C-alpha cells in the first residue's frame, strides 16, 4: 500500500470497530448490516492482496540481489587470476580486460555485469590451459562462474515475470480500495443517517472513525468524500464531531 492507502485502510478498520461494537443496533436498519459485512470482506481482500504484492516485490528483489552478489564475487576471483597471469606473460590486452574492482561491479547495471561476466569467461577459456598448470582449481572456478552467470540471467527473467504479477496485484489493490470507498459513500454514510435521532453516540462515533489520519506526521485529515476531492487537515488531538464536519449534500434518504 502507498502511504495514503495505509492511512485510508486504518480508517476502514476504525469504522469496522465501531460497527462491530454496535451490531445489535445496526441490525435494525435495513441494509446497514449487509453494507457492514461487505466492508469487512473487502478489508480482508485488501490485506490479502497487499501481502501478495509485498511478497512478490521482496522475493524478486532478494533473489536477484543474492544472485548478483555471488556472480560479482566469482567474476572478481577469476579476473584476478587472469590479471596476474596477464602481468606475468606481458599480455597487456588481457590485463586491461581483467582489471576492475569489487566496487565497480556493484555500481554497474545488470546488462553490463552480464557482459563483463561473459568476457571473463571467454578469456578464462582461452587461457585455461596455461593457468591450470600453476592454479589447479582454475577449471572448477571457471565452471562455477558459468553456473552463476546462468543463474543470474534466470533471476532477471524471473523478475520480469514477477513484474507482470506485481502489476496485476497493484491493479487489484486499487480496485479493492475503490470498492471499499463506494460501500462507505454509497451505503454506510446514508444509512447511518437513519440512526442519528435514535443513537447520537453511535452516529458521532461513526463519523469520528471516518476521519482519515495521516499516521506519518500525526495529523488528522477529514475527507468530505472518500475520493479526497475535498481534503481538510484537523489537529490529531481534536475530538471531531459530526457537527464540525460538513457532510455530503447528496446523501440518500
Interval 129-153: pLDDT, tens: 899 888 889 999 999 999 999 988 8
> How much is the pTM?
0.55
Q: What's the CA dihedral at 9, 13, 15, 17 to 10 degrees?
A: -170
pLDDT (mean) for 87-91? 92
Alpha-carbon distance 162 to 62, whole Å?
A: 12
Alpha-carbon distance 63 to 145, whole Å?
A: 17
> Strand locations in 205-253, DSSP E?
212-214, 219-223, 231-235
Alpha-carbon distance 136 to 128, whole Å?
A: 10
Q: Would you place residue 224 in the very low, low, confident or very high pLDDT band (cuts 50, 70, 90)?
A: very low
pLDDT of residue 59: 60
pLDDT of residue 162: 64
> 138-183 and 110-131 are packed helices; what angle lies between their axes, rounded to 10 degrees?
170
For the ranges 135-139, 212-216, 233-237, the lowest mean pLDDT is seen at 233-237
Query: Residue 2: left if φ>0, alpha if ψ -120 to 50, beta else—which one?
Result: beta
The mean predicted confidence, pLDDT, of the chain is: 81
Kindly tell me the sign of the dihedral angle through the C-alpha atoms of 73, 78, 79, 84: positive
The yes-or-no verdict on residue 124 having pLDDT over 80 is: yes
**How many whole angstroms from its chain centre is CA 39?**
23
Contact 246, 224 (CB under 8 A): yes
pLDDT of residue 248: 39
The yes-or-no verdict on residue 18 having pLDDT over 60 is: yes
Alpha-carbon distance 42 to 38, whole Å?
A: 6
* Cβ neighbourhood burial of 24 (10 Å; 0-12, 13-18, 19+): exposed
The yes-or-no verdict on residue 36 having pLDDT over 80 is: yes
The yes-or-no verdict on residue 62 having pLDDT over 80 is: no
3-state SS assignment for residue 233: strand
Amino acid at each position: 500500500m502507498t502511504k495514503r492507502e495505509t492511512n485510508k485502510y486504518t480508517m476502514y478498520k476504525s469504522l469496522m470497530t465501531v460497527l462491530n461494537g454496535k451490531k445489535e443496533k445496526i441490525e435494525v436498519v435495513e441494509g446497514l448490516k449487509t453494507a457492514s459485512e461487505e466492508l469487512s470482506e473487502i478489508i480482508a481482500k485488501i490485506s490479502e492482496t497487499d501481502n501478495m504484492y509485498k511478497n512478490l516485490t521482496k522475493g524478486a528483489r532478494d533473489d536477484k540481489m543474492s544472485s548478483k552478489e555471488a556472480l560479482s564475487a566469482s567474476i572478481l576471483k577469476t579476473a584476478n587470476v587472469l590479471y596476474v597471469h596477464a602481468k606475468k606473460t606481458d599480455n597487456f590486452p588481457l590485463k586491461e580486460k581483467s582489471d576492475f574492482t569489487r566496487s565497480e561491479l556493484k555500481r554497474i547495471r545488470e546488462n553490463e555485469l552480464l557482459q563483463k561476466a561473459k568476457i571473463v569467461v571467454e578469456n578464462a577459456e582461452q587461457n585455461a590451459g596455461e593457468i591450470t598448470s600453476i592454479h589447479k582449481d582454475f577449471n572448477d572456478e571457471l565452471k562455477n562462474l558459468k553456473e552463476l552467470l546462468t543463474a543470474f540471467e534466470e533471476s532477471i527473467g524471473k523478475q520480469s515475470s514477477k513484474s507482470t504479477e506485481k502489476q496485476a496485484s497493484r491493479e487489484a489493490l486499487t480496485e479493492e480500495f475503490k470498492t471499499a470507498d463506494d460501500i462507505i459513500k454509497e451505503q454506510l454514510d446514508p444509512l447511518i443517517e437513519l440512526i442519528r435521532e435514535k443513537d447520537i453516540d453511535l452516529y458521532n462515533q461513526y463519523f469520528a472513525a471516518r476521519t482519515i489520519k495521516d499516521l506519518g506526521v500525526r495529523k488528522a485529515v477529514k475527507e468530505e468524500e472518500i475520493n479526497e476531492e475535498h481534503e481538510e487537515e484537523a489537529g490529531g488531538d481534536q475530538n471531531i464531531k459530526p457537527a464540525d464536519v460538513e457532510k455530503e449534500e447528496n446523501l440518500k434518504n
